[in-house]
Amino acid sequence: MLSIFWRVGISDALERLYFILLEKPYLASYPELVFIGILPLIYTLACGEDFAKYGFRKEKFWPNILYSLPLALIVAWLRGFPSRGYGLVPPWSFFYAVLNLVAYGPLEVFFVVWLIENTDEYLGSEAMPSEGSLAVPMIFGLSHVLWAIHGDLVAAVVNAFIVSLVFVYFGVIYKYTGNIAGFMVAWTLMNRQSLLSAIQCLI
């Protein structure tokens, strides 16, 4: 679509998009919202599914938080706060802060959990950990390598592997407790595109 809009080839369109997002990272929340966050949400609503299927429930809320939060707090503390912002002004600073926080935090987690549950349902998996809670996080994490168009490929591979391990950890906790709350809160704190990007939108 962008190649048609810009009247260039697909590779040129991707390269142009890469440099735009490199200059204004907060704009990446739009494709994240459309292709990751909204699609499973619309499908779930359209099919009239019970959101409890995806961990939106009261049961085992606190055990889920207890298992998930310590790692997230340690990572967030070690990472610290960003020293520079994006230079946005109100109301756009607040708009993009909320958009980045939600798109890269809760909605991204819902996307992964949605895939885990539907993969397990398709495979008929009742194991613990399930096939979905292992395969989906690994594939999702490793897919981050695709963003290394012009960047450091080695760093991208290492980052993708770490993301995969983190998502496997939280995915297994999710399947064990049947609750999504800790996964959402923890990943929002840990994901630099979520909390840190939201802070950078505001400063």
Strand ranges inside 72-157, DSSP E? none
Mean pLDDT computed over 6-28: 71
| CA separation for the pair 152, 194 (Å, rounded) | 22
What is the dihedral sign for C-alpha 27, 32, 35, 39?
Answer: negative
Q: What local confidence, expressed as pLDDT, does residue 105 receive? A: 94
Mean pLDDT computed over 173-193: 94
Domain-located, residue 73: yes
Determine how many CB atoms are found less than 10 A away from the CB of residue 153. Answer: 11
Written as one letter, the residue type at 86 is: Y
Domain-located, residue 6: no
- Does residue 55 surpass a pLDDT of 80? yes
Determine how many CB atoms are found less than 10 A away from the CB of residue 164. Answer: 19
Segment 102-136, tens digit of pLDDT: 999 999 999 999 999 999 999 998 888 889 999 99
Count structural domains, the chain.
1
Widest Cα–Cα separation across the chain: 53
And the tokens for 85?
Answer: 């912002």
Q: What local confidence, expressed as pLDDT, does residue 143 receive? A: 80
Q: Which domain holds residue 129?
A: 25-202
Q: How large a percentage of the chain has pLDDT more than 90?
A: 56
> Tokens 């690994």 label which residue?
138
Q: C-alpha 132: how far from its chain's center?
A: 17
More confident site: 159 or 118: 118
Domain-located, residue 20: no
Domain-located, residue 12: no
Domain-located, residue 63: yes
**SS3 for 126?**
coil
* Nearby residues of 67 by Cβ (< 8 Å), 6 or more positions away: 173, 176, 177, 182
Could you tell me if 55 and 112 are in contact, meaning their C-beta atoms sit under 8 angstroms apart? no
Domain-located, residue 1: no
* Nearby residues of 192 by Cβ (< 8 Å), 6 or more positions away: 79
Q: What local confidence, expressed as pLDDT, does residue 34 receive? A: 83
Domain-located, residue 39: yes
Which letter does DSSP use for residue 98 in this model? H
Q: What local confidence, expressed as pLDDT, does residue 45 receive? A: 94
Domain-located, residue 182: yes
Q: What local confidence, expressed as pLDDT, does residue 165 receive? A: 92
Q: Is 37 left (phi over 0), alpha (psi -120 to 50) or beta?
A: alpha
